[in-house]
Amino acid sequence: MDWGMKNRLSRIIRPQDGHTVMLAIDHGYFLGPTTGLENPWKTIEPLVPYADCLMPTRGVLRSCIPPELDIPIVLRVSGGTSIVGPELLHEGITVSIDDAIRLNASGLAFSILVGAEYERDTLLAFSEICDMGEEYGIPVLAVTAVGREMVRDAKYLGLASRIAAEIGAHMVKTYYCEGFEKVVEGCPVPVVIAGGKKIPERDALQMAHAALQAGAIGVDMGRNIFQSENPVAMIKAVRAVVHENATAEEAYELFKTESGQQR
Ligand code: R5P
């Protein structure tokens, strides 16, 4: 691995503990104005001090995020489908490597779809992204997208994560599931978990803690942070789990204290 690749990876994953809190804010690329991200910068600004990196699309990056901001960007470079269209899980490449470099991306994020009709298309497009990343020393995060019909179990997520790593991902984002240690064990590159749909804060913190215990190096979390009743308190609590080895209960107490909700 060359110096540039290592340097960018060390911006995404904190070298002090090998963990990361990635803040996913790319949902609009297929969901439109997602609740909490209608005005992206209004939501993101107070969260930035507690995130290790941001994961936006180039549109939100260019139009909503000040270029002076000192935070690494993992740029969403796949898309082309929508929640209302017929082929949600048939994403292609949406950003050229030239533009990713112009935007000073520290990493590229691409969704693959294993086990569905367009598996081959997404995996081959992903391999192109890996080649581009290698050429310029930019790490690639594989997002293991899950179709509506698919079961989010260790067998399936382990398969998708391993395939992503075999093709060339430097990091994999997947979903937490029972037996998650099997997913991590079978994946030779660092694994982070997505949060998924909004769930109660205590449950989201328990999930993050369980994922870390099973070997994940952090989270790439969106809705469970920015749709929380108190997003700043929630990202601080997630951060405590990821970087301070807090238990889920300790983190939830922190959430309550930070949000001033002594219940
Ligand atoms: C989905 O692929 C989007 O890229 C999101 O970034 C991802 O699902 C993580 O966000 P959330 O924690 O809201 O699921």
Q: What is the pLDDT of residues 103-149, one digit of tens each?
A: 999 999 999 999 888 899 999 999 999 999 999 999 999 999 877 77
State the distance from the centre of ligand 1 to the C-alpha of 158, rounded, in angstroms.
Answer: 18
- Would you call 173 a catalytic residue per the annotation? yes
Rounded to an integer, the average pLDDT of 10-16 is 98
Burial of 199 (0-12, 13-18, 19+ CB in 10 A): middle
Kindly tell me if the per-residue pLDDT of 90 is higher than 90.
no
> Does the beta carbon of 56 sit less than 6 angstroms from any atom of ligand 1?
no
Give the type of residue at 40. P
pLDDT band at residue 4, thresholds of 50, 70 and 90? Answer: very high
pLDDT band at residue 233, thresholds of 50, 70 and 90? Answer: very high
Give the type of residue at 10. S
Architecture of domain 3-7+19-25+39-258: Alpha-Beta Barrel (3.20)
State the distance from the centre of ligand 1 to the C-alpha of 115, rounded, in angstroms.
Answer: 19
Which residue out of 173, 182, 198, 256 is catalytically annotated? 173
C-alpha to C-alpha distances, 240 to 31, 44, 90, 98, 251, nearest whole angstrom: 29, 19, 36, 36, 6
Q: Are 146 and 176 in contact (CB under 8 A)?
A: no
How far apart CA 93 and CA 112 sit, in angstroms, is 11
pLDDT tens-digit map of 153-199? 999 999 999 999 999 999 999 999 999 999 999 999 999 999 999 99
State the distance from the centre of ligand 1 to the C-alpha of 112, rounded, in angstroms.
Answer: 13
pLDDT of residue 252: 98
> Does the beta carbon of 189 sit less than 6 angstroms from any atom of ligand 1?
no
| pTM exceeds 0.75 | yes
Kindly tell me if the per-residue pLDDT of 262 is higher than 70.
no
pLDDT of residue 83: 86
> Does the beta carbon of 11 sit less than 6 angstroms from any atom of ligand 1?
no
Whole-number average pLDDT of the chain: 95
- Percent of the chain topping pLDDT 70: 99
Question: 200-227 burial, b if ≥16 CB within 10 A, otherwise e?
Answer: ebeebbbbbbbbbebebbbbbbbbbbbb
pLDDT of residue 88: 74
| Nearest CA owner, ligand 1 atom 9 | 194
pLDDT of residue 261: 65
| Nearest CA owner, ligand 1 atom 10 | 222
> Does the beta carbon of 31 sit less than 6 angstroms from any atom of ligand 1?
no
Ligand 1 atom nearest the C-alpha of 111 is 2
Rounded to an integer, the average pLDDT of 54-64 is 97
pLDDT of residue 49: 98
How far apart CA 164 and CA 83 sit, in angstroms, is 23
pLDDT of residue 85: 83
State the distance from the centre of ligand 1 to the C-alpha of 244, rounded, in angstroms.
Answer: 23
> Does the beta carbon of 138 sit less than 6 angstroms from any atom of ligand 1?
no
Across the chain, the runs of DSSP E, i.e. the strands, are: 20-24, 53-55, 74-76, 78-79, 92-93, 107-112, 140-144, 171-174, 191-194, 218-221
pLDDT of residue 151: 85
Q: What is the DSSP letter of 259?
A: T
How far apart CA 55 and CA 133 sit, in angstroms, is 16
37: closest CA among 220, 260, 231, 236?
Answer: 231
> Does the beta carbon of 34 sit less than 6 angstroms from any atom of ligand 1?
no
State the distance from the centre of ligand 1 to the C-alpha of 222, rounded, in angstroms.
Answer: 6
Kindly tell me if the per-residue pLDDT of 263 is higher than 70.
no
> Does the beta carbon of 143 sit less than 6 angstroms from any atom of ligand 1?
yes
Rounded to an integer, the average pLDDT of 215-241 is 98
> Does the beta carbon of 228 sit less than 6 angstroms from any atom of ligand 1?
no
State the distance from the centre of ligand 1 to the C-alpha of 7, rounded, in angstroms.
Answer: 25
